[in-house]
Copies of this chain bind each other. A is one copy, B any other.
Amino acid sequence: MSEPPELRITRRAVPTSAAAMRHALRAFLTALEWEEDAILDIVTAVGEALANAIEHAYEDATEEAREVTLYARAAGDGLLSAEVRDCGRFIERARRPGRGFGLRIVRSIASDVSLETKDGTSVRMLFDTRKMHKAL
């Protein structure tokens, strides 16, 4: 009984995977009885990280190994740590007008974000539901 609630899903990094993975995360958080407002925001942030892995990570990759993994783990006290990880290549890019909202959205919602770009990209997000919606 002591292990924390967790969810891990690996899917092919293709556009249709994003919705399925968000749905699984939403149902997981709903089962934990988290508040709907917090669920909306967490799913939004994780959804951005998933969309990035799907859109950018494998721009120049061969067809194999195009995968994206979502890992989420709830701690007590309304904390959730989540990680979206791919095995692609992070693309450093100058800010493009009308784009580049994804990571900004992630940073607005998560209380802590760390981006690691070794053997692919890993976006680690910490959500603290007690501190959420502070920006709104």
Residues on A lying within 8 angstroms of B by beta carbon are: 1, 3-11, 17, 20-21, 23-24, 26-28, 30-33, 65, 67, 69, 71, 85, 87
Contact = CB atoms under 8 A, between A and B. Distances in A.
A69 to B, nearest CB: 6
Contact of A1 (B24, B26, B28, B67): B67
Contacts of A4: 8
The 7 tightest CB contacts between A and B, nearest first, are A27-B27, A24-B31, A20-B31, A24-B27, A23-B27, A6-B8, A24-B28
A contact patch SS:
mixed
Contacts of A28: 7, 9, 24, 27-28
Nearest to A29: B24
